[in-house]
Homo-oligomer: A and B are copies of this chain.
Amino acid sequence: MKALVFDGPGRRAWTEVDDPTIREPTDAIVRVDAVTICGTDLHILKGDVPEVQPGRVLGHEAVGTVTAVGSAVRDVAVGDRVLVSCITACGRCRYCREGHYGQCLGGGGWILGHLIDGTQAEFVRVPHADRSTYKVPYGASDESTVLLADILPTAYEVGVQAAAVRPGDTVAIVGAGPIGLAAILTARLLSPRLIIAIDVADSRLDAARKAGADVTATGASARRVVDELTDGLGVDVAMEAVGLPETFEQAVQLVRPGGHVANIGVHGAPATLHLEDVWSKNLTITTGLVDTATTPTLMGLLADGRIDTSQLITHRFSLDEFDAAYEVFSHPAETGALKVLLTRTN
């Protein structure tokens, strides 16, 4: 089959590799019908994620069709149309027993396109298939469903749920890229009074308003805007959706005493925590990898039209156009790309 193979920092190729096969009784093989590229894939290509070895097939988000299952798989069968989640769960370790699949100690967690071959391929082997794939409801499109593989549950669990957003809250979201937009879409499920989106790019602030932000601000004006809207107190919840020290520090600065800061961004460098300012402010700061425990819930809300993801996919390609897709996705300032979709054509 063809697959997008990482060849060391800066090098990738859509090339021929061996077809995957069932190795464990809990495995499934899935034919990839639709797949996308994640910001994390760009980090891997830069060499920021050293545990990814050359030769690895990338990708951890897909919708596809089951073509084979191991003898112990019970919930999915050959022919089923499934979501392949970015997180795999052994179902036995202490974390899985609490639904914290992202921290799985039994050979799961984020492994696809990371420690084992991933979804940017014609076929993919999915371990622990009963807990790592989800049957797609009749009528749901590949295009919206594939967003359930990572960014929607990530924004909802690591952002909205971790920060305990409640009706009537004021919420600042720092960063209006794909994950920030997903945070806006899922925060709205809780009816905050005010969502303030913060970014440097006007096009992303436009997208934020379409997604449901009530107010937008550029980075420099954010503190003033928040002060005006909250009588100088700060927001109830601030989410970091970029992954830079300065955006994390801004999120901490924007929040009121007793408020929550939820870090969603993937960071490559330490940030400064101004404890001399915040030691007495009763802050709660959270970090996290998605557990995908809410995937079935979000799948239902999406099917019912309660989350509108229509503007998130900005560019479409066929699977053999992976080179072009990576080019577009890695230059969002020029291309306006949010998420790119690649689909099987034959």
Contacts and interface: CB of A to CB of B under 8 A. Distances in A.
Given A25-B25, A74-B92, A98-B99, A280 B289 contact: yes
Contact of A276 (B96, B268, B306): B268
Q: Determine how many copies of this chain the complex contains.
A: 4
Interface in A284-301: 284-289, 293-294, 296-298, 300-301
Interface string A79-102: 000000000001110111111101
A286 B287 contact: no
Contact of A267 (B131, B279, B289, B294): B279
A191 interface: yes
Among A92, A243, A265, A298, max chain B CB count under 10 A is at A92
A25 B273 contact: no
A31 B280 CA distance: 29
Contacts of A248: 273, 275
A279 B266 contact: yes
Contacts of A267: 275-276, 279
A280 B287 contact: yes
A103 B263 contact: no
Contacts of A54: none
Given A99-B99, A167-B297, A274-B270, A191 B193 contact: no
A271 interface: yes
Given A287-B280, A306-B193, A91 B94 contact: no
Contacts of A280: 102, 110, 266, 287-289
Contact of A288 (B25, B97, B130, B281): B281
B297 A287 contact: no
Report, as a range, how many residues of chain A touch the other chain. 35 or more
A271 B268 contact: no
Interface of A: 25-26, 71-72, 74-75, 90-92, 94-100, 102-103, 106, 110, 130-131, 166-168, 189-191, 193, 243, 245, 248, 257-258, 263, 265-276, 278-289, 293-294, 296-298, 300-301, 304, 306
Given A95-B257, A245-B275, 13 more contacts: A25-B25, A98-B99, A103-B258, A166-B297, A167-B297, A193-B306, A243-B279, A248-B273, A263-B279, A266-B279, A270-B276, A282-B288, A285-B286
23 contacts: A72-B72, A74-B90, A99-B99, A100-B258, A103-B281, A168-B294, A189-B190, A189-B191, A190-B190, A191-B191, A193-B304, A269-B275, A270-B274, A270-B276, A271-B272, A279-B287, A280-B288, A280-B289, A281-B287, A281-B288, A283-B285, A283-B286, A284-B286
